Amino acid sequence: MGKKAVIVSLWPTLPVLLFACFLPMEDLQRALSARGLAVSTLPEKGRCLFSTRDFAPGDVILNEEPYVSVPNRGSIDSRCDWCFSTSNLKKCSACQVVCYCGSACQKSDWRVHRLECGALSKLDKHRQKSLTPSIRLMVKLYIRKKLQRGKIIPTTGTDNFKLVEALVTHMSDIDEKQLILYAQMANLVNLILQLPDINIKEIAENFSKLACNAHTICDSELRPLGTGLYPVISIINHSCLPNSVLVFEGRVAVIRAVQHIPKGTEVLISYIETAGSTMTRQKALKEQYFFSCTCPRCIKVGQFDDIQESAIFEGYRCKDNGCSGFLLRDSVDKGFICQQCGLVRDREDITNIASEIKLLSERASKSVSSGYNTEACGIYKMIEKLQQTLCHPFSITLMQTRETLLKLSMELQDWKEALAYCRSTIPVYQSYSGTQTVQSSR
């Protein structure tokens, strides 16, 4: 049969096939239109989310329940599989793997867990212990796909498996070692589910999708609680100068505007911590998401502004405490010259302080892991003092130490000190975000 004959034989079904392909996108566009949003495709970016109305700072642009989600597997605390609470937990009496904090959460999750429970109950104890959050997320993904296909769970324009299928895999960018790992994980998922129509290659590709598209679900204090897949929010592209931010309200992902977004503007969030040099940001994006950013910050790489920003965020301070200049290496690489006052800081001086900080950091880490928060807090204060003599006042390293002290102070219920550390981090965030702040719309 020639090509022409094939086309002729397919013609009666082509309209049906095309309708099936475009219907989910039409449904999505319709659902997003009511929210003042639209999906568009750009050659250099792929799918993008655009505003079709103005959004003010603090406005909710989009919110989405996870298509599937799982709690983190903690070494100490378990979490409710639905709301991620750690209170009043009881294990599922059948599988003895999943926990719920009450009947309401168990009922909300029951349609998916009913099938998952049956599959997990058949596993021996050894295999149950190998159930990582990623494995469970994939198992739940295929169960939800099956339930939606059987119309047991309804589909909507923003909640259907076609949106998962549309996510990018980046399989061609993954190294052989990672591909083998995905294949092994896919085999385990196949063993757990034992579905007749399951495709191991497709499962491996979906693991690649999760790696690029799943989000860490955090509480209001940015502590990680679990992982969720949000296919609509995954359409939103990255910028190191985002106009929006992703936050979580329980398990619901919420996109809020951090600045005025005029009609016709692309909605952008940051996939990574944007406090850092261009080189650091580009490395993180390439390793995790397989692309190079071309946002207004990143296209300045190698220019004076970019060099200055890198030296401030990741470099050293002038040895004159009254000077706020940034340091660059001298021509013979024996020290660092302040670009404001010209003073030279000796390399040996920097090395000695850095070595002391490293030793203290190892001690602090051991104290935290042992639960000695008071002791750890004292050591981190010593680290902060040394970093103040070594790092630029807007250093990311110094800011991270203060964030650690903030968390420890909260754990110790020293609210006054926690507030002080919180305030000390604000100027750093303002310096790289262009003084953008999220304002409440309430």
Residue 268's SS3 state is strand
pLDDT exceeds 70 at position 75: no
Q: Choose between 190 and 128: higher pLDDT.
A: 190
Residues 6+ apart with CB under 8 A from 90: 99, 100, 101
Q: What is the pLDDT of residues 40-49, one digit of tens each?
A: 998 888 899 9
Q: How many angstroms separate the CA atoms of 209 and 211, rounded?
A: 5
* pLDDT for residue 24: 61
> Which helix (H) or strand (E) element contains residue 366?
helix 347-369
First to last CA, the chain: 66
Find the mean pLDDT for residues 130-148.
95
Q: How many angstroms separate the CA atoms of 328 and 319, rounded?
A: 13
Q: What is the pLDDT of residues 13-42, one digit of tens each?
A: 334 333 344 446 789 999 999 999 999 998
Residue 47 · residue 59 · CB < 8 Å: no
Q: What is the pLDDT of residues 223-250, one digit of tens each?
A: 899 999 999 999 999 999 999 999 999 9
Q: Choose between 75 and 386: higher pLDDT.
A: 386
Residues 6+ apart with CB under 8 A from 416: none
Q: How many angstroms separate the CA atoms of 123 and 419, rounded?
A: 48
Q: What percent of the chain has pLDDT over 70?
A: 91
* pLDDT for residue 355: 96
Find the mean pLDDT for residues 131-135.
93
Comparing 22-36, 43-57, 386-400, which segment has the lowest mean pLDDT? 22-36
Neighbours of 157 (CB within 10 A): 19
The 8 Å CB, 24+ separation contacts for 217-224 are 217/66, 217/69, 217/84, 217/248, 217/251, 217/253, 218/248, 219/84, 219/248, 221/407, 221/410, 224/72
Q: What is the pLDDT of residues 405-419, one digit of tens each?
A: 999 999 999 999 999
Q: What is the pTM of this model?
A: 0.81
| Angle at CA of residue 324, ends 318 and 327, nearest 5° | 45
* pLDDT for residue 427: 83
